[in-house]
């Protein structure tokens, strides 16, 4: 499959200053250090390729969702980790635009890396403000813009949209790899196509679950997403995490799933698989975990994982698939005791050697990489994107990609 956008291979970047948009929105530990550097490591091929071309590489990214300047969300720890991974010093500037930025870039030698402060310290970033994008382009003196922040290309922001109006804009190597891996598997998927969805960002993702119901041969639902489905269908979920106000969408999805399963000639419960049993505790710190049928859940129970019977069902469906996409953990997988459902999904995916297996989502990718003895290589592709990968899997077009120069 050919990528339809120009990449860093297609333009004369040699010796130029390049503005590189990365997604260094990484989890931080309590001491402020980088807890997981998957996204930073994934950006290395592009950074190294640009250095090899003798570029001044000016990197911008967001981190978290700050409202204005917020020192706890400085991008500096990510910049430090990048320097460690590159094995060479880089320059960090505690401003995103302005004189300090201009001076630092002017002073930086050819073939060097400068990292600018968190884009979202400026409200103009999320407002997709063209004046801000112009200032970013002119203060950095960049000749080209390289989009490599795959995780953020589903957003219409200054560094994904407006910037492309200011300087010639091409894709980085990570963006290209993510796009090709996901679209190749999803455009004409080998069937059965099984979509496994879970996690907690329910309102962010539930519309995409609906689109997957129209595309997939089975949709398996776990995590707080499943709690939301159960609650929406009138089932008591006790003290579990779920999103209220989603009952209408849930019912829509179930109706749609009913039509799809009839078309496919299978039972609804085989097409849209919700947990029939769950792992329950009194809190996320509770070590006493009980497995029970969904209808046995009482007021003070928290559903924190899918149950053993459900995990077996999910694994069987995954074993018969030819393409599997997974976004969202099956439970509170940060804690080992609530990670069995997610582990069962990961095991079934990796044991199905003939299937294409794609994992997306920050927490889901984190889980999959740490669960896998081969650091994630047992899956066909682990995406650095959360919402971005899910939208691409569902067949949506992503603004941060579409705005780039056509190949
Ligand atoms: P991703 O980061 O992969 O896109 P989300 O952020 O949507 O996924 O969801 C992952 C989060 O969902 C994790 O922090 C996990 O603990 C939480 N989660 C999943 N299931 C449950 C549950 N049953 N109860 C509480 N939290 C849950
Ligand atoms: C992500 O972590 O999914 C991306 O970095 C996008 O972040 P956002 O959801 O805050 O826009
Ligand atoms: Mg997450």
Same domain, 254 and 357: yes
On whether residue 8 sits in a domain, the answer given is no
Q: What average pLDDT does this structure show over 369-395? A: 94
- Model confidence pLDDT, tens digit, residues 62-92: 999 999 999 999 999 999 999 999 999 999 9
pLDDT of residue 199: 95
Domain final residue, candidates 174, 199, 230: 174
Q: Give the up-direction half-sphere exposure of residue 125: CA atoms within 13 A in the CB hemisphere.
A: 23
- pTM for the full predicted model: 0.91
251 Cα: distance to centroid of ligand 2 (angstroms): 28
- What is the domain-level CATH number for residue 187? 3.40.50.1260
Asked whether 369 and 336 are in contact (CB, 8 A), the reply is no
363 lines ligand 1 (CB under 6 A): yes
pLDDT of residue 204: 87
167 Cα: distance to centroid of ligand 3 (angstroms): 32
- Model confidence pLDDT, tens digit, residues 316-339: 999 999 999 999 999 999 999 999
**Going by DSSP bridges, is the β-strand pair 112-116/144-147 parallel, antiparallel, or unpaired?**
unpaired
Asked whether 139 and 98 are in contact (CB, 8 A), the reply is yes
- Position in ligand 1 atom list of the atom nearest CA 201: 7
Q: What average pLDDT does this structure show over 150-162? A: 98
On whether residue 142 sits in a domain, the answer given is yes
Same domain, 271 and 141: no
- Model confidence pLDDT, tens digit, residues 184-232: 988 899 999 999 999 999 998 999 999 999 999 999 999 999 999 999 9
- Model confidence pLDDT, tens digit, residues 232-269: 999 999 999 999 999 999 999 999 999 999 999 999 99
On whether residue 30 sits in a domain, the answer given is yes
Same domain, 170 and 189: no
Please give the mean pLDDT across all residues of the chain.
96
pLDDT of residue 1: 82
Take atom 11 of ligand 2 and give the residue whose Cα is closest: 152
Which residues form the catalytic set? 39, 201, 362, 387
Domain final residue, candidates 174, 205, 231: 174
Q: What b/e sequence results for 363-379 when a residue is b if at least 16 CB atoms lie within 10 Å of its CB, and e otherwise?
A: bbbbbbbebbeeebebb
pLDDT of residue 209: 93
Same domain, 138 and 198: no
Positive/negative CA dihedral, 39, 43, 45, 48: negative
On whether residue 254 sits in a domain, the answer given is yes
SS (H, E, C) 242-258: CCCCCHHHHHHHHHHHH
Same domain, 232 and 369: yes
Same domain, 199 and 293: yes
Domains identified in the chain, total number: 2
Ligand 1 mutation pick, 39, 204, 224, 342, max ligand atoms within 8 A of CB? 224
Same domain, 256 and 129: no
On whether residue 6 sits in a domain, the answer given is no
pLDDT of residue 362: 86
Sequential DSSP letters for 63-115: -S--SS--GGG-SHHHHHHHHHHHTS--EEES-SSSHHHHHHHHHSPSSEEEE
- Domain span at residue 272 reads 181-393
On whether residue 252 sits in a domain, the answer given is yes
Take atom 3 of ligand 1 and give the residue whose Cα is closest: 361
- Position in ligand 2 atom list of the atom nearest CA 204: 9
CA distances from 296 to 9, 64, 230, 292, 311 (A): 58, 38, 13, 6, 18
Take atom 16 of ligand 1 and give the residue whose Cα is closest: 332
Asked if the model's pLDDT at residue 283 lies above 90, the reply is yes
225 lines ligand 1 (CB under 6 A): no
Domain final residue, candidates 154, 174, 194: 174
Q: Report the candidate in 158, 169, 183 with the shortest Cα–Cα distance to residue 61.
A: 158
Q: What average pLDDT does this structure show over 393-404? A: 95
Q: Report the candidate in 228, 233, 231, 319 with the shortest Cα–Cα distance to residue 269.
A: 233
Take atom 10 of ligand 1 and give the residue whose Cα is closest: 199
């Amino acid at each position: 499959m050919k990528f339809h956008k120009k990449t860093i291979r297609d333009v004369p970047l040699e010796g130029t200053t390049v503005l590189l948009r990365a997604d260094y929105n990484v989890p931080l530990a309590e001491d402020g250090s980088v807890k997981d550097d998957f996204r930073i490591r994934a950006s290395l091929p592009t950074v190294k390729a640009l250095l090899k071309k003798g570029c001044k590489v000016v990197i911008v990214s967001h981190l978290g969702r700050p409202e204005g300047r917020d020192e706890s969300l400085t991008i500096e720890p990510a910049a430090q980790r990048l320097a460690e991974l590159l094995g060479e010093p880089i320059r960090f500037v505690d401003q995103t635009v302005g004189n300090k930025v201009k001076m630092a870039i002017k002073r930086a030698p050819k073939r060097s890396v400068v990292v600018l402060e968190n884009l979202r310290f400026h409200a103009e970033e999320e407002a997709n403000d063209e004046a801000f994008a112009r200032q970013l382009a002119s203060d950095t003196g960049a000749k080209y813009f390289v989009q490599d922040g795959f995780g953020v290309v589903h957003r219409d922001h200054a560094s994904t949209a407006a910037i492309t109006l200011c300087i010639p804009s091409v894709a980085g190597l990570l963006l290209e790899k993510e796009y090709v891996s996901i679209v190749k598997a999803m455009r004409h998927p080998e069937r059965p196509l099984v979509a496994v969805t879970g996690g907690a960002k329910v309102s962010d993702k539930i519309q995409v679950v609906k689109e997957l119901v129209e595309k997939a041969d089975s949709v398996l639902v776990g995590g707080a997403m499943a709690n939301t489905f159960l609650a929406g269908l009138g089932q008591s979920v006790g003290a579990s995490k779920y999103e209220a106000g989603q009952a209408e969408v849930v019912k829509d999805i179930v109706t749609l799933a009913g039509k799809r399963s009839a078309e496919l000639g299978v039972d609804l419960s085989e097409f849209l698989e919700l947990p029939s049993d769950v792992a329950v505790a009194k809190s996320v710190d509770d070590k006493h975990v009980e497995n029970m049928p969904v209808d046995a859940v009482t007021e003070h129970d928290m559903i924190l994982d899918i149950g053993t019977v459900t995990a077996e069902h999910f694994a069987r469906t995954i074993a018969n698939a030819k393409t599997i996409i997974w976004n969202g953990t099956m439970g509170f997988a940060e804690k080992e005791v609530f990670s069995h459902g997610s582990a069962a999904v990961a095991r079934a995916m990796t044991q199905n050697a003939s299937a294409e297996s794609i994992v997306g989502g920050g927490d889901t990718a984190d889980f999959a990489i740490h669960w896998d003895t081969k650091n994630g290589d047992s899956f066909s592709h682990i995406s650095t994107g959360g919402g971005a990968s899910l939208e691409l899997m569902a067949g949506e077009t992503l603004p941060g990609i579409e705005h780039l120069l056509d190949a």
